[in-house]
Amino acid sequence: MDISAELIDQIVAHAREEAPNECCGIVGVLPGRDGAQPRAVRVFRAENIHKSPKRFEIDGKAVLAAMRELEDSSLEIGSIYHSHTHTAPYPSQTDINFAANWPGVEWVIVGLSDPSAPEIRSYLIEEGVVREVALEQIAV
Ligand SMILES: [Zn+2]
C-alpha cells in the first residue's frame, strides 16, 4: 500500500512505546481501484490483549470500532500492524496462522531488534504463503 512518512512514524512510535511488548493496530485505507495500490489514511492503535513481548492478539472491540469509523467514510481495514521487538520483521508461524482470518489484509511488521534502526515491512499472507509487498512512501 501507499503510506505517508507521517503514518509510518505513528506506527513506529507506537511500537517504541509498547516495547518490549508487541504493539498492534489497524491501518485504514482508501481502497485501490483499477489495480492502483490502496492508500493508507489513518492509523488506529489497538491493545495487545496479551501484553506480551512474544505474541499479540488484537482487541476485538478496537477492530469493531475502527470498522465502524472507516465505513462511514467508505474506507476499509487495509492492514493489521504489529511489532517484533526482538526478532526480524518477518511473519512468525503464529502470524501466518492468524492471517487466515484476514484475507486480503496486509501484515505490516515493525522490527525493533535494533531500537535505533526500526525496520518496517509489509506482507500479504494467503493460504499460508508469505509474499512481501511494497510500502511505498508518498507525500501528502
Ligand atoms: Zn508477529
CATH number at residue 127: 3.40.140.10
Q: State yes or no: pLDDT of 140 exceeds 80.
A: no
**CA of 94 relative to ligand 1 center, distance in Å:** 7
Query: How far is it, in rounded angstroms, from Cα 135 to Cα 137?
Result: 6
Query: pLDDT digit string (tens) for 76-119?
Result: 999 999 999 999 999 999 999 999 999 899 999 999 999 889 99
**CA of 70 relative to ligand 1 center, distance in Å:** 25
**CA of 75 relative to ligand 1 center, distance in Å:** 25
For the chain, what is the domain count? 1
Query: How far is it, in rounded angstroms, from Cα 64 to Cα 66?
Result: 5
Give the residue numbers spanning the domain of 26: 2-138
Instruction: Give all strands (DSSP E) within 74-114, no chain letters.
Output: 76-84, 106-111
Query: pLDDT digit string (tens) for 2-48?
Result: 999 999 999 999 999 999 999 999 999 999 888 888 999 999 999 99
**CA of 34 relative to ligand 1 center, distance in Å:** 31
